[in-house]
Structures are given as structure tokens and as C-alpha cells.
Amino acid sequence: AECWQRDPALKMPARLTVLFLVAFSAFLGVLGRNVGKEYSLVLVGGGLYDNNTAIWERIIELGGGKGAARFGVISAASEDPCCDADSSWVYYRDLLTKYGAAEVYYIPVTTNTTEQNLNPVVVAHIKTLTGFFFGGGDQLRIIESFYNVDAKIPSPALRAIRQTLYATGGVVAGTSAGTDIQTNDVMITGGESYQGVVQGATVTWEPREKKDLNALTGYGPGGIGLYGHGLLDTHFANRGRHGRLIQLLVDSSDVTRGAMRAFGVDENTALVVTGPWNSRSATVLGQRGAWIFSTQDAAHNEITSTTTGVSVSRISNGDVLDLNSYQITPAVYKSALVQSATVAATSSDIFGEEVFELDRIALSLLQSSVSAVTQGTTKQSSPQVVVKLGKHWRDALENSSTNKKQAQGFGGTDPSTGLFAYCFSDLWLSMGVQKEQ
């Protein structure tokens, strides 16, 4: 499964300093990639429960195992990074210790202590660790803490984290902003789905360029570069973020760190990336799911302000995604979804928070033998955003090599929870602003 430019700000600034620094950062991100040991990633979509044993134990296991794993905690994204009882550092220290870490070390690099990113004692200790945990908050604070020279050059502390992972094959885990920061591509920095689709996305080149708190923005130089498969977003279906991630994916496609794929991870859920460099895979652990979007076959119509042919897939607990072929292997408890002669559901609040409307209508469409397409609209009007989902790609794009492609869905009762879980691949999606009459 698997554009266009709406905002002139998407063009890379014609400033030689930015061009040089971005190119140099890209070189550093590539340097060593695929030549060291294969480290793992545990990308949590935020809202990680203290009692989510499956995810916490997997983090410890990939970091060396109970009684052996040595973790560094990066709490720089938090407003309260350290060190009182309610701080982010203390919270994650206690949980990692509870689940079996032999050592949990505070990496004392924050926006208020950036000088520590040069401290040889801190750098030396980082190199003794087997895993790293990035807490939630604001991902731009991590950029400001771990990069120097106007937030463009990786600090010795950040380089030590990368070098240690390549040397040991350990694990980097993150939650919320701590997941968003891992991307090597454009990093989402804020915005909501409705406003993002209506106004489009802006790619910024300085950490604090953003002006409107609700505007959809991405950071052009990207994150810290440990995940190289596409854009990342978190709190995903819980907050109806499908629209904002798709819009940023499309609107940033022509910048240096643009991508053709994006991944959205739901709360209390993790995307676990493991395996050799030439055959990496991602497995879902947890309560809900992870979404995969591809614009490889997408097309945009400027007249109708509609993007068509975005490929949408979703995986849930136990499903495995091959990160080379992007084929999905459903969990063993899942079988092909049973269809019935019921018309697929629609939605009038497609990007609503905590209502999971895109989940609902997608599953309903896959279970319908009489509907090939369904749609949802935003509760906001003037203008209204319309999202369509379809099973048959001949309905999405004319004269396309994808016309024979068709969506597939699988589901079953998850034995770990007793609840129904499902996955699907290759629904097509169109999304656009409905013109006012």
C-alpha cells in the first residue's frame, strides 16, 4: 500500500546557513546508520498506563532484561523535568525501577541546563547505558536542549546517545513528545485536524517560529533521527489527529525532510520496531492501534481542494508490519472480517476527540458487503471538511496502476484483553474542504 504545495512557507528558506546546517545534520543522521548494531524502538502514543505490563516489560527486555538494563531518562520535554517528587524524571525512574531496570540515570540536559549537553561526565555516563527513555511534553524543548548553534548541531550528549545505541543494539523508548522526537523526517509540532485541513500546514525552520497555537506546523530539520520510516504523531485516534497528520504529510512532501509515509500511534499503545536493518518490522502492543498513511499514489485537485488516493492501514495488538514491503501480518487470533448486507456507517464528527469516528466507519465499511465507500464530515461548518473512505481503488483514482488494489480487514478476540481487535490494509482516503455555496 501505499502533491502539492499550498503554503509558500513550505519552500526551504534560501539562507545558506540553514541549508548548510540542515545538510550537515542530515549527514550526521545518516552517518553510522545501518552499520552499527540494530537497536530497537518502543514508540508509545502517550497516555501510557502504569500497569501496562506488556509495554513496560518489553522496554526493559529490549534494554537488556530485568536486573541488567541500564536506562537514561530524558525528561527535557516536560515543564517539570526534575527533581521534585512530582517531576517527570522521578515518575519514569520509579516505573523503570519497578519493572526491573538495574540502573536509572537522570540525563541532566534541559532547556535550563543546556551546558550539560557538553559535560564530559554526562557524555561518559551515557555511554555506559543500554537504553534511553524520552518522556512527554513539548518535543521542541528536546531540540532546544540537545542541539547547539541555534538548535541545529547535535550536541555531544545527543551524539553519545546515538553512538551508544549503535554500539550496544539497545533500545530507545519514548511516549508522546518522546515518540514524536524520534523521526528523521519533518517533525510535527502542533495543530488540530480541522484547522490544519482548512488552512494547510506550515513547515518552520526555527524551533519557536510558530505563532498560532492551533496552526498545523512541522519542524523542517526533523527530530533526532532514530526512526527513519516516516512522520510520527501520538495521542492519535484519541484526539482525532488523522486529518492533521495527513495534511502535514502532503504539505511537507517537497521539503528536504519530507516523506511519503506517516505513522500515528494511539494512547496506551506502542509501535515496537525490531529486527535486522534490511528486514525491520513494527509490532503493536497495547490497548488500541497504530495507523499508517502513504501518499505514494495520492493526487491533489487544486480546484476542489481535495486530496485523493491516500492509502490508509491500521494495525492493533499483535499485528506485525514489515517496514520494507509494508505488508501486514495479522495476529494469530485474527481472521478475515465477516461481511453482512448492512450499509456502512457515516460520521458527522470525523475528527472528534475520544469518539474514534474514523475507526468506527472504517470497520463498518470493511464489514459491509453492500457499501464500497463511506464518508465522514467535521462538526464544524463554514467550511466543512469531508473525508471519504473506500475499499476499491478503481473508485479513487482513474487510470492508475492501483486500480486492482483492494482493502483487506481482519479481526478477532484478543486473548490478552477479551476484547475485539481489528486491522486492515489499503483503504483509500480522500479529504478536502467542501466549498461554501
pLDDT 10s digits, 242-262 = 999 999 999 999 999 999 999
Here the cell at position 135 is 518522556
For residue 183, the cross-strand partners are 227
Instruction: Identify the helix (H) or strand (E) that includes residue 120.
Output: helix 120-126
DSSP string, 339-360: PBS-PPP-BS-TT-TTS-HHHH
pLDDT of residue 437: 56
- What are 37-83's pLDDT values in tens digits? 999 999 999 999 999 999 999 999 999 999 999 999 999 999 999 99
pLDDT of residue 387: 98
- What are 270-321's pLDDT values in tens digits? 999 999 999 999 999 999 999 999 999 999 887 777 899 999 999 999 999 9
Kindly list the domain boundaries of the chain, sorted by start residue: 40-322, 333-416+425-433
CATH of domain 40-322: 3.40.50.880
Q: Among 330, 332, 319, which Cα is nearest to 272's?
A: 319
| Average pLDDT over the chain, rounded to an integer | 90
Alpha helix (H) residue ranges in 216-370: 242-251, 357-366
For residue 405, what pLDDT band results from cuts at 50, 70 and 90? confident
Contact by Cβ (8 Å): 195, 187: no
**pTM as predicted:** 0.91
pLDDT of residue 209: 73
Q: Among 170, 179, 130, which Cα is nearest to 39's?
A: 170
